[in-house]
Amino acid sequence: MRYVVIGASAAGISGIRELRKLDKTSEIILISKDKEIYSRCILHHYLGGHRTVPELNFAESNFEELYQVQWMKGVACTGVRPAEKKVALEDGQEVSYDKLLIATGSHTFIPPIKNLKEANNVIGFRNIEDIETLKEVAKTHKNILVMGAGLVGLDCTSGLLELGVNVTMVEMAGWMLVRQLDPRAAKTYQDAFAAKGVKQYYGDGIAEAVMNEEGNITSVILSSGTEIPCDYVVVTAGVRSNVEFLEGSGIETSRFGLVYDVTGKTSDDDIYGAGDVSGTSPIWPVAVKEGIIAASNMAGVPRKMTDFFASKSTMNFLGIPSMSLGNVNPEDNSYSVEIKDTGDSYKKIVHQDGKIIGAILQGDLAYGGILQQLIARRIDITKVKKPIFDVDYSDFFHINENFEYYYED
């Protein structure tokens, strides 16, 4: 049996670990455009000088030896031929497989804004190469505009602040981290970034980039008409799945990315997918779990991805910790919202029909583990006759003879 994994991503590396755990002898080949294994979640620490490239590595130092992996580094995949069970590489090589895991992740999407794609001084924030470029840029460019105020946008801004440049953030939504936080929790960060000198524009998108004769952007014009001078633009507002190489392969994709089921299987029985390449759940915990699930099924051990609790985010910007779980901005008044706000600590729980469906913790994250269990297990909190913020493990769990928690309805 030969397993081939495309992508040294969180999903790909997790998949390899699981494959070797379940199959001690079969061949495993890793193919990746990246020459290093690194966490994209902490690239801003490399930008800010707090970590080196080796310190971004989330795999074991002896990864290849430990998991008996043949790693083909620095080479991109250009095609897959399922009928022949072969993968084509950009250097002309072909690699055969019995089972294939596609974990190629995603890339920065440059939106179709006038002059944005054509300009020389526009970059994404997705890989080591982007960070290397920004490190050099910061030496000569002092007014950098970050397009997007999501998690990646704030990572980028945090790193740039360490380099002593002036940063402006532009976000189309009404507040930063709109997928993770509500306006109250977001304001804590907005105020903190403002105190660091970061200019911020919300509810206003970029309508046009002004480009000079040399092909460099000198300013951007917002939808409101506001013009913001800048000498470099970092796009963090969107990504697209890396599925271009699958064109003509017959493997099903959607407008989001690679299509696969709860076992990780694609439209081809011997090809699996995991992680950002689906375009549906671009966060680390889901990528890791999908990689494990797909690998397990590739190795003949049936498993399903039943927990799509894809919206868990833990963050710490400017020394302020926050955790976001589930749906924190309910769509209508059919949901109940509980809030405890002391100023230094903010807690919000959203629930419906006895089930907690979302929560925000900011400042004090001690309650996070309990909330995560309540949401993931869809436990009925109406059974507990005490204030919701006082609920703890003892209200739902018992301890067995091995001193392990278990839950009974």
Per-residue pLDDT reduced to its tens digit, 112-171: 999 999 999 999 999 999 999 999 999 999 999 999 999 999 999 999 999 999 999 999
Q: 7 and 58: one domain?
A: yes
Q: 27 and 66: one domain?
A: yes
Given this model, what pLDDT does residue 385 score? 73
Q: 101 and 59: one domain?
A: yes
Angle at 287 between CA 17 and CA 20, to 5 degrees: 10
Range 17-21 contact pairs with CB under 8 angstroms and sequence separation of 24 or more: 17/67, 17/292, 17/295, 18/291, 18/292, 18/295, 18/296, 18/299, 19/295, 19/298, 19/299, 20/67, 20/68, 20/69
**Averaged confidence pLDDT in the chain:** 92
Q: 138 and 226: one domain?
A: yes
Q: 333 and 392: one domain?
A: yes
SS3 (DSSP) at 315: strand
Q: 78 and 14: one domain?
A: yes
Q: 278 and 381: one domain?
A: no
Q: 173 and 199: one domain?
A: yes
369/358 Cα distance (integer angstroms)? 13
42/34 Cα distance (integer angstroms)? 16
Helix residue spans in 48-182 (DSSP H)? 63-66, 128-140, 151-162
Residue type, 94: E
DSSP 58: -
Q: Which two tokens stand for residue 330?
A: 């309910």
Given this model, what pLDDT does residue 58 score? 94
344/123 Cα distance (integer angstroms)? 36
Name the one residue in this structure whose structure tokens are 């590739």: 298
Q: What is the pTM of this model?
A: 0.88
- The model's pLDDT over 228-243, given as tens digits with 9 standing for 90+, comes to 999 999 999 888 999 9
Q: 127 and 95: one domain?
A: no
Q: 6 and 102: one domain?
A: yes
- 8 Å CB contact between 84 and 256: no
CATH number at residue 157: 3.50.50.60
Nearest to 363 by CA among 346, 380, 351: 346
Q: 207: domain range?
A: 122-237
pLDDT > 90: percent of the chain = 79
- The model's pLDDT over 311-325, given as tens digits with 9 standing for 90+, comes to 678 899 999 999 998
